[in-house]
Structure 1
Amino acid sequence: MTTSLAEKPRRSYGTGGLFVRADRSGRQTWYGKWRTNGRQIKRRIGPKRGEGSRDGLTRTQAEAELRRLIAETPGAARVGERLTMHEAGRRYTRYLAASGRKPSTLAAVRGHLAHWIEPFFADRAIDGIRTEDVADLVTLMQAGQRPGGLRRTKPLSPKTIRNAIGTLNALMSYAQRKGWTGSNPVLDLELPVVEPDEDIRFLEPVEVEAVGAAATSGTYEAVDRALYITAAMTGLRQGELIALRWRDVDWTAGRIRVRQNYVLGEFGTPKSRRSTRSVPMADRVAGELDSLFKASSMQGDDDLVFADPLTGGPLAKAAILRRFRKALRVARLDDAHVFHDLRHTFGTRMAAAGVPMRTLQEWMGHRDIATTQRYADYAPAPEHEAALIAGAFRSSSPIVSAAPGVVSP
């Protein structure tokens, strides 16, 4: 019969433990157990040295072998190692990069670490960080006080705070799975509430035509005009338009296929799985793209549709916004609009035309239907709604007034 004898001394999280197991004949063997990557590992260490014997392992020798095995476990912290926030952040971003995360995601994580998380926690060990410590960081962010003696900034919005603390939450969860800490202090934190922003800025169809006609920036005139019209009538994101290639324009099927995105100077996959999609190509868009194709010297399948006329490469996003606002001023429109408002234009116009929200979600590449629902207020009301309300309050019996004996007609 096998007997298990638990080790008496209690150990801190992640350092593992020894126990002895005896077989039917009474021979005893050291075993070790520890946690890493969120799972428990058990390994045979070796025979236990009996009293007065030179064979087998003493407790000290078994402890040393246990430490060696733990240290060789992929992803495990060394026994006794206390990772600082800086080192944990470095390992976490390396893990994200190895996992194939998008450059935009890596840039956001590195920004949160560099601007807030690492300066605030400095060289503190992550296994010593408590919920109240994270709450202090949130207070600084709300006040616009940068940690580590950095210059002040304006108070951060609830959404920005939640994004930064979300990075910390993901990092601490990763550290917990790795056995670097025993708890995640972010889980019990109350974060600022984000008030939904229902304000959507968009252009009317006549304004879209006006801004397209006002694209008069010399060399960029033809590409900008086609860009504005296509953005407003397909709902593609700016990065998706920049990455669009001629092979993605299906003239026969009358559709534009979204296969790539351009973010932070790199081509990659679209924002989410749903963002890989195809969108109907209206005749107006097809006409603009046809004119642009005939005027362009870059007509290969892999050439960019909206290629920079001077370089043949992708358009610069900052320059797109400058020229877009210049066109707005020429058209005597509000130059506070941003390029993304053309995407909102597509969403609001499609909703107003009665396109079902599920269909609009597919066309716009929204991962969550809740994002698409922001356009629901622009959808036309069914003609029979008023009749439904009237019918609900219609009664075959007269309504009795408060005065006794008086019946309302």
Structure 2
Amino acid sequence: MLLDARGTLVADAEQARRAIYGGKKMARRRFQHGSLFRRGRRNKVWVGRWWEEIINPDGSIGRTRRAEVLGTVAELPSRSRAMEVLSKRLNPINSGTQRPQSTRSYSDFITKDWMPVVLPTLKYATQKHYRYILDIHLLPTFGSIRLTDIKRECVQSFLAAKLNSGLAWKTVKHIRSVFGRTLATAEDWGYINQNPVSKTELPRRPRNLSPRHVLQPHQVHLLTKELSEPSRSIALLLVLTGLRIGELLALRWKAVDLTAGTLRVIETVYDGHFDTPKTDRSARLIPLGAEAVALLKRLSQDQVNANSLVFATRAGGPLSRHNLLRRHLKPACKKLELGGITWHSLRHSHATMLDATGAPLGTVQALLGHSSSEITREIYLHAIPDDQRKAVAGVEALVFGLKRTQVAGASQSGA
């Protein structure tokens, strides 16, 4: 048994050939020398022309005339030099290593092939993210362009334009990732010979010097006093455990062991859709402190069964993180003048407090479920700056001869 171009099992080679080439026999391959001519007045260039086989939208094989600039006359001063370049360009065609190219547009491939076949294999949250990137950034620019006409140079220019437009480096990185993944599928399925995105680069990520929004311990107490249930318990557990909001809202009582003082992360939820945790390391066992256990014991008094969610709607479904943020957390933070705080800020607050206690990097990484220590270390860049204050105060003590007690008092009042 063999596979045709769409991945369908066929009986023999002849059937496979007909499935790939629309039932038409391919013309015998002819050795090509191509044609060569000069173009331009001031900046003269050598242009080569040749024939290429293409795959039409109906699957049949056709031929098309190609033209390509081989170089400037200054770079290739003689016709023989230009012919050498043209011969190298034609070598994959003459040797039979270059496959027929598709005439399909990027939009046609995405909407008819990639979205129905590949997109459903991704996690729900990832699907939403990919759809957004495609609809807002990729399809408006590349939708009408043929897959074979998307070149590395135009992709590199596109990424540079996105960075220059003011988009965050991380956003442009995501755009490049989605673009590369879709074209990798096009390459695997034979629509293009090489993924042009794989040869592009982004500049080094700029250091983010703006402080990350985190809460200090006394601010946690102020916030929990201001919040009503269930947001109060949700906020406190996020700070005490470092869970992601989707992990906490997907937490079921069967994953909580109040006797052992642990909870197990086995699910996450996004817009009402349950899924496996974000990464392999995200599926983890979290130790609970005495306060977290006491809080969960109080909540367990309303427990229906082991499969019930710890935080649920009246119908038993998951709460909406967006509604809780808009109706509860944001108004409370605005009243307390705690700007920029989100549910994820509470997870970062947990990380920075772990750092302040002197917890090793590997321990923090395991508790947070990060896939790499680099992610954890990045959070450390925004840790509570108490140690930095003490260090600077120590320098002042040496310079001005201040007593340590005076320095300590000054640093506390400055905090």
When the two structures are superposed, what TM-score results if normalisation uses the length of structure 2? 0.66
Tell me the equivalent position of 1:178.
189
Q: Please tell me whether residue 341 in structure 1 is matched to residue 353 in structure 2.
A: no
Tell me the equivalent position of 1:218.
none
Q: CA deviation at 1:179?
A: 0.8
Q: CA deviation at 1:372?
A: 1.2
Specify which of 283, 306, 319 is matched with residue 290 of structure 2: 283
The verdict on how the C-alpha distance between 1:375 and 1:110 changes in structure 2, with shifts beyond 3 A counting, is closer
Contact kept? 2:5, 2:19, Cα under 8 Å: no
Identity %: 27
Give distance in 2, aligned partners of 1:85 and 1:244.
40
Counterparts in 2 of 1:126-165, with a 5 A limit?
Answer: 126-142=147-163, 144=165, 155-165=166-176
Tell me the equivalent position of 2:127.
106
**Corresponding letter in the other structure for 1:213:** K
Q: Deviations over 1:257-309 (max 9, x none)?
A: 11110113311111111111111111111111222222x3x43211111123x
**What SS is found at the alignment partner of 1:256?**
strand
Q: Deviations over 1:306-357 (max 9, x none)?
A: 123x443222222221311222344x34132112111011111112212221
Contact kept? 1:223, 1:292, Cα under 8 Å: no
Contact kept? 2:239, 2:349, Cα under 8 Å: yes
Tell me the equivalent position of 2:140.
119
Specify which of 190, 200, 206 is matched with residue 195 of structure 1: 206
Give distance in 1, aligned partners of 2:279 and 2:16.
44
Tell me the equivalent position of 2:240.
233
**Corresponding letter in the other structure for 2:225:** A
Contact kept? 1:325, 1:337, Cα under 8 Å: yes
Contact kept? 2:271, 2:320, Cα under 8 Å: no
The verdict on how the C-alpha distance between 1:69 and 1:264 changes in structure 2, with shifts beyond 3 A counting, is same
Q: CA RMSD in A?
A: 3.0
Contact kept? 1:233, 1:285, Cα under 8 Å: yes
**What SS is found at the alignment partner of 1:186?**
helix
Give distance in 2, aligned partners of 1:304 and 1:175.
41
Structure whose CA Rg is larger: 1
**What SS is found at the alignment partner of 1:340?**
helix
Give distance in 2, aligned partners of 1:72 and 1:277.
51
Going by fraction, where is helix more abundant, 1 or 2? 2
Contact kept? 2:267, 2:274, Cα under 8 Å: yes
Q: Deviations over 1:159-195 (max 9, x none)?
A: 2112112111111121111110112222232324322
Specify which of 318, 325, 331 is matched with residue 330 of structure 2: 325
Q: CA deviation at 1:89?
A: 1.4
**What SS is found at the alignment partner of 1:141?**
helix
Alignment size in residue pairs: 305
Contact kept? 2:4, 2:17, Cα under 8 Å: no
**Corresponding letter in the other structure for 2:223:** V
> Can you give the 5+ residue segments of structure 1 that lack an aligned partner in the other structure?
1-32, 46-64, 145-154, 216-220, 382-409
> Can you give the 5+ residue segments of structure 2 that lack an aligned partner in the other structure?
24-54, 62-101, 388-415
Specify which of 375, 381, 384 is matched with residue 371 of structure 1: 375
Specify which of 232, 252, 263 is matched with residue 256 of structure 1: 263
Contact kept? 1:127, 1:183, Cα under 8 Å: no
Q: Please tell me whether residue 92 in structure 1 is matched to residue 104 in structure 2.
A: no
Give distance in 1, aligned partners of 2:118 and 2:179.
14
